[in-house]
Amino acid sequence: MPNITPEEHLAEVLARYSEVPDARLAEIMTCAIRHMHEFVVEVGLTREEWFAGMEGLAAIGQMCDEKRQEFILLSDTLGVSMLVEMINHLAAEGTTEPTVFGPFHVDGATRREMGDSIVVDPMDADEPLTILGEVRSLEGGPIEGATLDVWQAASNGYYDVQDSDQTPLNMRGVYTTGADGRYEVRTVRPVSYPVPNDGPAGALLEATGRHNWRPAHVHFVVSAPGHKTVITHLFDRESDFLDSDVVFGVRDSLIVDMNGGRCDYDFVLEPAA
Amino acid sequence: MPNITPEEHLAEVLARYSEVPDARLAEIMTCAIRHMHEFVVEVGLTREEWFAGMEGLAAIGQMCDEKRQEFILLSDTLGVSMLVEMINHLAAEGTTEPTVFGPFHVDGATRREMGDSIVVDPMDADEPLTILGEVRSLEGGPIEGATLDVWQAASNGYYDVQDSDQTPLNMRGVYTTGADGRYEVRTVRPVSYPVPNDGPAGALLEATGRHNWRPAHVHFVVSAPGHKTVITHLFDRESDFLDSDVVFGVRDSLIVDMNGGRCDYDFVLEPAA
């Protein structure tokens, strides 16, 4: 028998995965296998490069623990996480655009009254900021009973979960709108911060000549009865790194003015199908 | 700004990885990123599926240690390892076909005289076998000074490195041909054996309805001055699983008769470029 070709080899592998009992698993596996094989052929991956890849993947896995998910960080820095958000939460024209969820959300943050502050631990570098506006439906009216789950890094660049000096749930709050659909969150101006670069994902950023910074932003999850939930950020227009966010999360429509202690932004939600 | 498309997002990510100082790294990264993004779009990966993937990759990494490389096992079971061998060690017509190296080779195996046995620890199930033949050049003549590095699982289905009851370097030997190019290796008939299924790679095999067995084989690395090294196996024609090798390593030209205590096979090497 002559040598079989890479195409014939791929066909053999795909055939072996075609009898998967779970049709969705079959779809995902065969698509992933095809792309892996095409990648190997297209770059002409050498055995040494393949082995370096195997060792790199193992090292990424070894870096993971309950508080650190290095594969998610890698996915973020390769633009994959943002892509997953984009295709699953496609915003209708005129609604607030989504962006990455990120690894620092915490369930069960403190419920706060409109106008309350999320700052539990004040810091010297704090620059007060009030973010306010309306939550409204794409169909026009203000939304009563909309929930805004807000979180951000403290002025030292760390989230509470990264920093044992912060009180748990510092810089987090959950707000619910009244009949006027208005919201008002008191906080501090966000700062840009680096994602962890002490692991393999950071090493890859360095090897590829990329910095590891995110531009200054505040996280929001805005949900309301009868509407699609939006997961997004608001970015500070005066921040560095807006053109080179390490996780590719910036969208022009999410860049807002945060100087002068005030930020005005209306969230627009799409009615659920 | 309107929503950007997945294609525009990919272009932005690729642009960010286009200034990689190492041109080969840039080639590998941009190709890998493109395939990852295309995979996500083609299957419409949900956030839950993406997260399950992130957790699965972390679990695979956690399974790796000095004696176990679960990513290599996964690569083997997806046909990727075999593909890497195929594209890097393309056999010229008429030469011995290569197959996977596998994870069980050990450097520094015992040098043996022609006709010596690799069996250090005899087992009750042993069925004696002599493998013999010639190492010759594709240009015709026998090759003097060719080295055959031979290894296989013992009759209990385990390699020495997997089985603390075996003497280290059991079932391994390195032989060198004389002027006649002949070799003769005494051993036992190989057995089929399962690859480890106690980790995430095994769980994926099970979820996809695949068994985890390799057909019976003996490993060879054959090298000689002035010739390309070939990494290959000889498979027992009477073995189970020849049509469904879990790592896709079987080639028709490598299936040989091993009954009657004797196996004849000539290795044919291609002159180095």
A interface test, pick of B84, B85, B250 with most A CB neighbours within 10 Å = B84
Mean pLDDT within B203-214:
95
Q: What is the DSSP string of A173-237?
A: EEEE--TT-EEEEEEE----EEPP-SSHHHHHHHHTT---EE--EEEEEEE-TTB--EEEEEEET
Task: Give the whole-angstrom CA distance, residue A118 versus residue A109.
Answer: 10
Task: Give the whole-angstrom CA distance, residue B40 versus residue B247.
Answer: 25
pLDDT, residue A185, reads 98
Q: Report pLDDT digits (tens) over A180-216.
A: 999 999 999 999 999 999 999 999 999 999 999 999 9
DSSP E strands: which ranges in A147-216? 147-151, 172-176, 182-188, 193-194, 213-214
Domain ranges of chain A: 6-75, 89-269
| A97 Cβ under 8 Å from any chain B Cβ | yes
Reference A193, options A168, A231, A156; nearest CA is A156
pLDDT, residue B3, reads 65
Tokens of B144: 């003097």
Q: Which residues on A lie below 8 Å from B252 (Cβ)? A: 1
* CATH tag for A89-269 (out of 3.40.50.1440, 2.60.130.10, 3.90.230.10, 3.60.21.10): 2.60.130.10
Instruction: Answer for the pair A231, A162: CB distance below 8 angstroms, yes or no.
Output: no
SS3 A62: helix
SS3 A259: helix
- CB contact under 8 Å between A87 and B22, yes or no, is no
Q: Which residues on B lie below 8 Å from A88 (Cβ)? A: 46-47
Q: What is the DSSP string of B125-162?
A: T--EEEEEEEEEETTSSB-TT-EEEEE---TTS--GGG
**Above 50 in pLDDT, residue B1?**
no
Q: Report pLDDT digits (tens) over A123-155.
A: 999 999 999 999 999 988 999 999 999 999 999
Q: Which residues on A lie below 8 Å from B80 (Cβ)? A: 36-37, 40, 50
| B62 Cβ under 8 Å from any chain A Cβ | yes
Shortest distance between the Cα of A135 and any Cα of chain B, in A, equals: 20
Q: Report pLDDT digits (tens) over B221-257.
A: 999 999 999 999 999 999 999 999 999 999 999 999 9
| A129 Cβ under 8 Å from any chain B Cβ | no
Backbone Cα Rg of chain B: 22
ipTM over cut 0.85: yes
pLDDT, residue B92, reads 85
- CB contact under 8 Å between B209 and A19, yes or no, is yes
- CB contact under 8 Å between B25 and A208, yes or no, is yes
SS3 B91: coil
pLDDT, residue A21, reads 86
**Above 90 in pLDDT, residue B194?**
yes
- CB contact under 8 Å between A39 and B25, yes or no, is no
Choose the most confident range, by mean pLDDT, from A99-113, B19-33, B168-182. B168-182
Which residues of chain A fall short of a pLDDT of 70? 1-3
User: Helices (H) and strands (E) in chain A — how many of each?
Assistant: 6, 11
- CB contact under 8 Å between A207 and B26, yes or no, is no
- CB contact under 8 Å between B79 and A12, yes or no, is yes
Which residue type is seen at A25? Answer: L
Q: Which residues on A lie below 8 Å from B96 (Cβ)? A: none
Which residue type is seen at A69? Answer: Q
Q: Which residues on A lie below 8 Å from B58 (Cβ)? A: 60-61, 64, 69-71
- CB contact under 8 Å between A20 and B45, yes or no, is no
Per the listing, tokens 């002027």 go with B179
| A1 Cβ under 8 Å from any chain B Cβ | yes
| B54 Cβ under 8 Å from any chain A Cβ | yes
Shortest distance between the Cα of A181 and any Cα of chain B, in A, equals: 25
Shortest distance between the Cα of B135 and any Cα of chain A, in A, equals: 20
Which residue type is seen at A90? Answer: L
Task: Give the whole-angstrom CA distance, residue B76 versus residue B82.
Answer: 7
pLDDT, residue B2, reads 47
| A26 Cβ under 8 Å from any chain B Cβ | yes
Superfamily of segment(s) B76-269: Aromatic compound dioxygenase (2.60.130.10)
Q: Which residues on A lie below 8 Å from B29 (Cβ)? A: 208
